[in-house]
Amino acid sequence: MTSPSNPTPESPRPLVPELAHQARDFRLRMSVINAEADTALDLTRDRYGHTVHPEAAAAAWTRRDRAAVEAYVTHLAPHTDPLLDAARLSLDALPPARHLSGWRTVLDDLAASAREVRRALDRPAVAGSAAERAQHAALWPHLAAWAEYGFIASDLADQEHRQHHQAPLTDEEQQVWTERAQAAQRRGELELTESWYAADGQPITLAHLIEGDDSTVIALRGDPDAPGWQVIGHYAHEYEAGQALPAAVPPGVLRADASRFNRPAPDPEVPLHELIRDVVEAQHAGDASNALLTATQRGHGAGPMVQLQELVETAGQFASALETVQGRQIAARLSALGRQINFLTREVHEAAEDLGATVSVLPPHRTPVLRARPRPAVDTTPPAAPPRTTTARHR
């Protein structure tokens, strides 16, 4: 009997586009499986993120792991080896660039994960047993790796079929168009629309060059905000540009160890809207103080203000990682804003402590207003309507 992790010897070798399609299809199916698991796990937690139904959570993990294995066996297992072979051939043909060594490492890691999955599938545990659940759980990181980074292999394998060729501009044409684009940029009439990286690691940006009532789609090579960028082509529309320009390669990641398929369990947190409601409903200064202290709490279960600072600082790291002039400028702005939020958080925390130390309550003259008015008794005579008065209308 042939292992489900390998194609039969007589199976025809699939074409590269079909291999890439299978990898993308597996990624899509894994995204659906992961989203369904997240939804199921949300139902096992209270509103602060604590797991209150551990048995249901364990069942959700089991369903997720089993569905992932089935999707891999059905859609990807027979194609991993030929896909990786095609990706390596394409990688060897690419021009030297900084990202190639990282891609080779990714392909090696994907191959190692495929071997681990194949080894387990060749020795399956008893269906429905605890051993099978443990086996599937151990395979999840390898399946998630293919769902997360298999697109690099499929993109490389398909790179040969996506290479675009174009007659380059002459040196004179390039100089003329570059000068026109630079003049438009100084006027504020060079509108950038899209950017990507080519296989050689150079950024390419599409832009609309506006001159009076005319607009021309042009392509730039290099950072549009740094000296030295050049126009490498002009086109009637963006579709023509996409057909003529070098194909995009997969973009990078901010953090190498981050994964949407292996996110850590969320820290318990109190939503900001609940803290606002706590203050609105508070009668004692200590209750309002506690809401502010929760918002500024650091460490495990960090409050919303601390999370906002982390968001701003992480976005600053992202902007810096773009390695562009604009990115570095925005990173500096976000870094300054992060410091301001940190200062504001400390000030709010100190104010919250001072508020709690007042040991005060709201004065009694702040009386509530009932939302529901009592209805009149059934036998009560309704009040008489006011007399109608006739008012003359004047033109």
- DSSP alpha helix (H) spans, the chain: 16-42, 54-75, 80-93, 100-122, 130-157, 159-162, 171-187, 238-244, 272-281, 285-295, 304-321, 325-357
- Model pTM? 0.83
pLDDT recorded at residue 165: 61
List 197's β-bridge partners, or say none: 203
Tell me how far apart the alpha carbons of residues 13 and 24 are, in angstroms, rounded to a whole number. 18
Instruction: Specify whether the CB–CB gap between 144 and 13 falls below 8 A.
Output: no
pLDDT recorded at residue 107: 97
Query: If you search the block for the tokens 């009694």, which residue do you land on?
Result: 364
Q: Quick check: helix, strand or coil at residue 395? A: coil
Residue 24: burial class (beta carbons within 10 Å; 0-12, 13-18, 19+): middle
Q: Give residue-wise pLDDT tens across range 120-163.
A: 999 999 998 999 999 999 999 999 999 999 999 999 988 766 66
List 73's β-bridge partners, or say none: none
Residue type, 194: E
User: Sheet holding 203-211: strands in order across?
Assistant: 190-197, 203-211, 214-221, 230-235
Regions of the chain where pLDDT drops below 50:
1-11, 391-395
Helix (H) or strand (E) holding 228: none
For 298, residues 6+ apart whose C-beta sits below 8 A from its C-beta are 306
Q: Give residue-wise pLDDT tens across range 162-212.
A: 666 666 789 999 999 999 999 999 999 999 999 999 999 999 999 999 998
DSSP per position, 113-157 = HHHHHHHHHHSPPPTTSHHHHHHHHHHHHHHHHHHHHHHHHHHHH
Q: Which of these, 222, 233, 221, 241, lies nearest to 169 by C-alpha position?
A: 233
